[in-house]
Structure 1
Amino acid sequence: MKGPLPTAESLAVLLRLIDDETPEVRQSVAGALDAFSGDVSELLHEGVMKPSGDDLKVLSSLLQPARRERLRRDWIVPAGGAASLADDWDAFEAMLRILSDYLHDGVTLRQPLGDALDLLAEELEPHYIEDGCAGLCKTLLGSKRLIADRKGEMDPKLLDLAAVIAGSPSNSFGLGLILLLVARRLEADISGVSLPGAFFCRYGTEQGPILLDPTAGGRPVDPAEFTHRIRRYPREIRMLAGRAATTGELLLRTTEELATAFAVLNLTEDAELMEDLVDSLLPGA
C-alpha cells in the first residue's frame, strides 16, 4: 500500500536534518527520500526553505539511488533491442527523456525534455519556414542558442539534453540529437551521420547534400575535407557516412557514451548501470 504523496512540508522536515553527518541520520534521511523518486526540484521551489549550495549537493547525492532505481524501472526495450526501434522517433525520444531525468540533479528546477523541445521547435519554426533546413541549422547552432563544448572531456552532463537546451554545453553528438529532435517536430528532412568519435548532420539541397558538424556553428563541412577525414576508416565505417543513423543506433551510442563518461569519472555504480542499458540494446539481450 502506497504512503501519502510527498509534499513540500514533508521535504522541509528532511531538509532540517540534511547537514547532520551522523551515519544513522544520513541513512534515515536517504531512506525517507526514496519516496520522492529522485526529484524534489518542484517541491523545493514551492517550499519556504532554501537550502545552501552545499546542502543541495548533499541532497542531490542522497536522491541519486532513487533516480537509478527509476531508470531501471522505466527502461523498457523491445525484445529485439536497439534494432527493433527502427525509426520510431517517439519511442527514441521517450528513452532520451528517461535518461535526461536520470542525469538531472533532482534539485534544479527545469522543463522536462519534451516540453523544452516543443518550445524550442516553436521558437525556430519561423526560421525554418523562411530559410528551410539551412535557416534552422544556422539559427539553432550558429546563434549561441546552444553552446558547444570546447573542452573535449567525457562528461555525462553533455548528454543531459534538457540541461543543454537550458544553456549547458554539449558535444557534437548532443547538439546533433537536439537538432534531429527539433527537425522531426518541424518535419524538416535532416538526418544524423554517426561515426566513431564524430557526429554530423545532413540535409539535402538542389545542389546536393549538405553535411555539417553541430559544434561548428551550423557551417557546412567541405566535402573534400570530410573525405580526407574518413579515408583511413575501415570500409564498413566509411559506409556509415553514406546513410542516416537509425534511432536504435543513436540510442545505443547515447548509452555507450554515458557508460564511458561515468567510467572515466570513476562513478562505478552509474557506469555499471549504463553498461546494463547498453546490454539491453544489443541483439539477443
Structure 2
Amino acid sequence: MHTARADRLKALLDRPEDEIDLAEAALLVATDEYPALDIEAYLRRLDELAEGVRRRLQPEADFETTVVALNEFLFDEQGFCGNTEDYYDPRNSFLNEVLDRRRGIPVTLAILYIEIGRRLGLALEGVTFPGHFLVKTATAEGEVVLDPFSGGMPVSEEDLRERLQARFPEHDAPLGALARLLAAADKKQILLRMLRNLKAIYLHREQHDKALGVLNRMLSIDPVLPEELRERGEVYMRLECFRAALQDFRRYLDLNPAAAEAALLHRRISDLERLAARLN
C-alpha cells in the first residue's frame, strides 16, 4: 500500500469504533492489490445504491420494511449474490471487485450490506460465525440474524445450530456457546476475517509473495496475531528471507510459549540462527 494510503488506513482504524467507515477501510486494504483504486468513486457507488433503496421507502418505514426493500433492490434488482461458482476467486475478497462484479463471499457481501444499511439508518453489525460470516441487528422483538450471502434472508436459531452441527459434527452447541458465537465483531475483526480468507487462498495456491502482502497487512492492523506471525515466518522461509523468518518465529513463541509445535519451532530457530550466522 502506498505510504499515504497506509497512513490513511491507520488513522481511520485509530478512531473510535462508531467513527470507523468500514467500506473506506476495506477499499484502502484493496489498494494493496489495486494501487490506482479510486476509493471515493466506490464510496459514491455505495451512496447511490443506498439512494436506490431509499427511493422505494416511505420516510417512516420500519425495520422490516427497510430490510425487505434492501434485499429486493440489492439482490433481486441489482443482482448481487454469493459467488458459489468460484468461491475461492481472490476477487471475491476485494470490495471494489464485489461492487464491479456483483459477486462476493459472506464477509464482503456483509460489508456491502452493513454499509448500505448504515446509510439507510439500519444499525447492522458483523458476526464472525464459524465458517460463514453473518449480520445481526437488535429489534424490539430481539436480535435478528441475516445472511447477505443468501440474499439477506433471516437465520433462525435452529438454522444456526444446524450450521454448527454440520461444521463440528462431534460437538453439540449449547445455548451459551451459540450466544458467544453471535457476538458482534468490531470493524478490525471484520477486516481481519476478510483478509484471512484471502490469505488462505494465496497459501493454497502457493502464491507466497501475495500471501506475504496479506499477512503484512493483517499484522499492521493487529501486530499481536500469533498464528499470522507463525505463518508469515513460514512464508519468509519459502521466500528465503531467513532473518525475517527467524524474527517472526521468535515473536510467535514469545506470544505462545506453550504452543503444540514449540519444540519443532525451537529446532527451526536453531537452524535459522546457524544459517543467518553463515550469511553474515
- TM-score, normalising length from structure 1? 0.62
From 171, 180, 184, the equivalent of 2:105 is 171
* 2:33 alignment partner in structure 1: 103
Q: For structure 1, which segment, 97-106 or 153-162, has the greater mean C-alpha deviation from structure 2 after superposition?
A: 97-106
How do 1:28-107 residues align onto structure 2 when only pairs under 5 Å count?
69-70=1-2, 74-76=5-7, 78=10, 87-104=17-34
Q: Which residue of structure 1 lines up, in the alignment, with residue 123 of structure 2?
A: 189
**Which of the residues 64, 87, 90 maps onto 1:156?**
90
Stretch of structure 1 that moved more, 146-155 or 178-187 = 146-155
Q: Which residue of 2 aligns with 1:13?
A: none
- The residue that corresponds to 2:242 in the other structure is none
* 1: CA distance, partners of 2:17 / 2:26: 14
Give CA-to-partner distance per residue, 1:88-111, whole Å, 9 cap, x none: 45454332122233434969x998
Secondary structure of the equivalent of 2:55?
A: helix
State the one-letter code of the partner of 1:213: D
Contact 1:189-1:203 at 8 Å conserved across structures: yes
SS of 2:23's partner is helix
Q: Equivalent residue of 1:188, what SS?
A: coil
Which amino acid in structure 2 is aligned with residue 112 of structure 1?
A
Partner of 2:184: 244
Deviation per residue, 1:183-209 (Å, 9 max, x gap): 122221222111231111123444333
Quick one: which of 111, 124, 132 aligns to 2:53? 124
Q: How does 1:219-238 map to 2 (within 5 A)?
A: 219-230=153-164, 232=171, 238=178
Choose the corresponding residue for 1:281, options 190, 212, 221.
Answer: 221
2:20–2:187 CA contact under 8 A, matched in 1? no
Query: For residues 137-157 of structure 1, what are the alpha-carbon distances to aligned partners after superposition, in whole Å with 9 as ceiling and x for unaligned?
Result: 343234453122113632220
Residues 91/205 of structure 1: CA separation in 2 closer, same or farther (3 Å cut): closer
Q: Report whether the alignment pairs 1:112 with 2:46.
A: no
Conserved? CA contact 2:147–2:155, under 8 Å: yes
Task: Provide the rounded CA distance (Å) in 1 between the counterparts of 2:219 and 2:39.
Answer: 30
- TM-score, with structure 2 as normaliser: 0.63
Q: Which amino acid aligns with 2:105?
A: N
**SS at structure 1 position matched to 2:145:** strand
3-state SS of paired residue (1:209): strand
| One-letter amino acid matched to 2:156 | D
Alignment partners' CA distance in 2, 1:121 and 1:133: 12
Report sequence identity in percent: 19
Structure 2 unmatched ranges of 5 or more: 166-170, 226-280
- Ranges in structure 1 where 5+ consecutive residues have no aligned partner: 1-68
What per-residue deviation string (whole Å, max 9, x for no partner) do you get for residues 243-279 of structure 1? 2211111111122222222222332211101101111
Q: 1:88 to 1:264 in 2, by over 3 A?
A: farther
- 2-structure distance, mates of 1:201, 1:73: 32
Question: Which of 1 and 2 has higher RCO (CA within 8 Å, sep 6+)?
Answer: 1
Between 232-241 and 253-262, report the one with greater CA deviation: 232-241
Partner in structure 2 of residue 272 of structure 1:
212
Query: Per-residue deviation at 1:87?
Result: 1.7
